[in-house]
Amino acid sequence: MKPNIKYQAIHKNRYGYSISCLCEFFEVSRSGYYAWLKRQPTPDKDIELGELIRECHRKTKQTYGYRRIRLWLAREKGMNVNGKAVLRVMRKWGMLSEIRRPSPYQRGITKFKTYENLLNQDFKAIRSKMKWVTDISYIHTKQGTLYLSIIKDLHDNSIVSYDMGTRQDNGLVVRTVEKARRQIRRGMLLHSDQGGQYASKDYYDLSEKYGFVPSMSRKATPLDNAPAENFFSVIKAECINRHTIKTIDDAKKLIREYIWFYNHERIQLVFGCTPLEKRQAAA
């Protein structure tokens, strides 16, 4: 094998093995390899890292952000790359993660007020209209993204209110609360994450108008709002992910039908009855 070919093989595998081991394996000197390396034209230093990030994207279905890609590079390629460098190259080549990006309607939202975590993962409620949780999730369709906002009662797990829209804005949350206004009891907890819609003045005004007490999860702590997260995982597993949804209207129809089924017909293992049967029995 010609020395140049050996040097190319060493260069290609340099992240998986030490240069010394590779030179010993190919029976060439380290000084010879480094002399060959100096003679090579200097490419854009980001090209190689960009190719590795592209490989990571292919294998992870473009779901990794720069932090996970940095860990993937360390595990799979033996590379210790600064996270800022990974993010810079991802931005340079347009390879940012396809999920968890801020909605265009969320960018620039100014937080008016955040609230203490009053719920504090105490998800038991001895009566209805005592503790509610709320959140927003998204449903992809071939026509675009539909956002689903829900309110869930922790006493019986019923979906008290929900609304849908193609914009993840304050209006979506306001409509969801307004639909539940006749069931709101003054002093009850309504728990959310720290999303801009829940930290807005519109949401604060609703709390003053109807008398509910806002509570918020801690930053980056999804378990603080686990009951709402659980509902979204259930509806996606049992309904959304079992269909190829073509239009926004198709998604809305599926969601309406499923939430009716969830409240009226789906037996909760923890209760042995449906949410509304649990509510009626308590009443």
Q: Which CATH number fits the domain that encloses residue 147? A: 3.30.420.10
Question: Do 151 and 83 share a domain, yes or no?
Answer: no
190 located within any domain: yes
CA distances to 126, 128, 160, 277, 278 from 283, in Å: 12, 9, 16, 10, 9
Lowest mean pLDDT among 55-59, 122-126, 216-220, 265-269: 55-59
Q: Is 101 inside any structural domain?
A: no
- How many degrees, rounded to 5, is the angle at CA 16 between CA 7 and CA 24? 45
Residue 42 pLDDT:
56
Examine the pLDDT at 208 and tell me if it is beyond 60. Answer: yes
Read off the tokens for 113. 């007020």
pLDDT at 257: 97
Question: What is the dihedral sign for C-alpha 209, 214, 220, 223?
Answer: negative
At 44 the pLDDT is: 56
Return mean pLDDT, the chain: 88
Average pLDDT over residues 71-82: 89
- In DSSP notation, 229-271 reads HHHHHHHHHHTGGGS---SHHHHHHHHHHHHHHHHHTPPBTTT
Task: For residue 123, tell me if it sits in a domain.
Answer: no
Inter-CA distances, 106 with 9, 189, 194, 261, Å: 48, 25, 12, 31
Q: What is the pLDDT of residue 148?
A: 96
Mean pLDDT along residues 214-229:
91
Domain boundary among 92, 123, 152: 92
More confident residue, 28 or 164: 164
> Would the pLDDT of 102 be above 80?
no
Pick the more confident residue, 105 or 111. 111
Q: How many CA atoms within 13 Å lie on the side-chain side of 139? A: 31
Q: How confident is the model at residue 207 (pLDDT cuts 50, 70, 90)?
A: very high
CB 30 within 8 A of CB 56: no
Q: % helix / strand / coil in the chain, to the nearest 5? A: 45, 15, 40
d(CA 129, CA 183): 7
Mean pLDDT over residues 157-183, rounded?
96
In this structure, is residue 83 part of a structural domain? yes
Looking at residue 19, its pLDDT comes to 85
Better pLDDT: 26 or 216: 216
The reply to whether 272 and 183 lie within a common domain is yes
Expressed as residue numbers, the domain containing 84 is: 3-92
- pLDDT of 110: 66
Shared-domain flag, residues 86 and 150: no
Total number of domains constituting the chain: 2
Specify if 102 maps to a domain.
no
C-beta atoms surrounding 254 within 10 Å: 19
Confidence of residue 43 (pLDDT cuts 50, 70, 90): low
Last residue of a domain, one of 92, 121, 146: 92
Last residue of a domain, one of 76, 92, 108: 92
Mean per-residue pLDDT, 102-116: 69
* pTM (two decimals): 0.65
59 and 168 fall within a common domain: no
Give domain status of residue 97, yes or no. Answer: no
Distance CA(4)–CA(97), nearest Å, equals 38
- 143 and 86 in a single domain? The answer is no
User: Does residue 149 share a domain with residue 27?
Assistant: no
CA 36 to chain centre: 46
| pLDDT tops 80 at residue 172 | yes
Q: Is there a domain that residue 108 lies in? A: no
Residues 278 and 151 in one domain: yes
Q: Is position 188 within any domain? A: yes
